[in-house]
Amino acid sequence: MSKDFKIRLVTIDDAEALLAIYTPFVISEERSISDVSFEYEAPSLEEFAKRIQNISAEYPYLVCEYKGNLLGYAYAHPYIPRAAYQWGAEVTIYLAPEGQGKGIGRVLYAALEELLKMQGIINTYACVTASNLHSVKMHEALGYRIVGSFKQCGFKHGHWLDMVWLEKVLCERPQQPPLIKKYPELEDTLVEKVLAKASMEVATLNLA
């Protein structure tokens, strides 16, 4: 087990490294890569840092670090910003090439979902380009199921793209759920326990 691995909370200082992971999914000449994101242009470093700040103010935003290098990140954000939808959250994950197919996504999502349950989140949703079969299969392997599809809803690189929605139910629905907590309201000791467990799990992975 290597202590060089760490699952931790994001910081603003991570913005440049995370943007470097994200950018190919926007502008790569390989359609199988850049069809993943529906943005046309990669955000500026300032904009990306602002996104990190806004998201992490309310939801968990996790990174996987190995020997000081970031291999991927996962975060949650509102599914739809209306009060009655607050018990659902959309999840997003991006991995660097050297972090793909190693099990890092599974560990990141497991930690993310534990923290979301602590907030009171019941359902998680993932919006995935239909042609991104690797991501679809990864989500299905983690307990997500396809609950909807939008045909030719996005246009990029001169062609139309389909999108699928996947859903996972994290826990039973109470008859009268309490309002969800913002992420910073969670107890630090409980958060640290989840992250420590995830760090131990990711340290057992084979990245060779």
pLDDT exceeds cutoff 90 at 207: no
- In the block, residue with structure tokens 């690797």: 134
Q: What is the pLDDT of residues 100-141, one digit of tens each?
A: 988 999 999 999 999 999 999 999 999 999 999 999 999 999
Q: Are 202 and 104 in contact (CB under 8 A)?
A: yes
Could you give the percent of the chain with pLDDT greater than 90?
88
pTM tops 0.85, yes or no = yes
In this prediction, residue 81 carries a pLDDT of 87
In this prediction, residue 5 carries a pLDDT of 86
Which band of pLDDT confidence, cut at 50, 70 and 90, is reported for residue 208?
low
- For residues 185-200, give the mean pLDDT: 96
Q: What is the pLDDT of residues 149-179, one digit of tens each?
A: 999 999 999 999 999 999 999 999 999 999 9
Looking at every residue in the chain, the average pLDDT score rounds to 94
Domains of the chain: 5-202 (3.40.630.30)
pLDDT exceeds cutoff 90 at 3: no
Q: What is the pLDDT of residues 13-33, one digit of tens each?
A: 999 999 999 999 999 998 889
Nearest-angstrom CA–CA distance, 124 and 118: 13
How far is CA 150 from each of CA 51, 128, 186, rounded to the nearest angstrom? Answer: 26, 10, 36
Nearest-angstrom CA–CA distance, 56 and 65: 18
- In the block, residue with structure tokens 């904009």: 47
Nearest-angstrom CA–CA distance, 203 and 206: 8
